[in-house]
């Protein structure tokens, strides 16, 4: 088990496990690892308590554990091979199932 799978993010940060894209194109062409781009979708593994306003009030998170999300190409900080720690405002949307 990876170190980051047991981590609890602070404040408005989210721990995300990347969802890797397909190795083949719809036409059947296999994409080599060197040509792949990093995935911009992921599954929320853990969330922080939420953002705190200057007055001290907590703003709850809009995402929850288990949500599939879409985030920016350069969002977050790498946390191991397939995990990211990103701020909630870097999440572009929740992918509906």
pLDDT, tens only, 64-87: 999 999 998 888 888 877 888 999
Please report the domains of the chain, with CATH numbers, ordered by start residue. Answer: 10-95 (2.30.33.40)
Quick one: CA dihedral 3, 8, 11, 17, positive or negative?
Answer: positive
Q: Is there a contact between 13 and 52 (Cβ–Cβ < 8 Å)?
A: no
With tokens 């599954």, the residue in question is: 43
pTM for this predicted structure = 0.77
pLDDT above 60 (res 35): no
> Percent of the chain at pLDDT above 70?
75
Quick one: CA dihedral 84, 62, 88, 12, positive or negative?
Answer: negative
- Lowest-pLDDT range, 2-6, 40-44, 58-62, 68-72? 2-6
- Confidence band, pLDDT 50/70/90 cuts, at residue 47: very high
DSSP state of 30: B
pLDDT above 70 (res 32): no
């Amino acid at each position: 088990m990876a170190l980051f799978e047991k981590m609890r993010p602070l404040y408005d940060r989210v721990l995300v496990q990347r969802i890797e894209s397909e190795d083949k194109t719809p036409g059947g062409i296999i994409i080599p690892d060197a040509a792949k781009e990093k995935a911009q979708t992921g599954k929320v593994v853990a969330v922080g308590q939420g953002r705190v306003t200057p007055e001290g009030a907590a703003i709850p998170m809009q995402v929850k554990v288990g949500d599939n999300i879409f985030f920016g190409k350069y969002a977050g900080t790498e946390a191991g091979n397939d995990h990211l720690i990103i701020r909630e405002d870097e999440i572009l949307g929740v992918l509906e199932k």
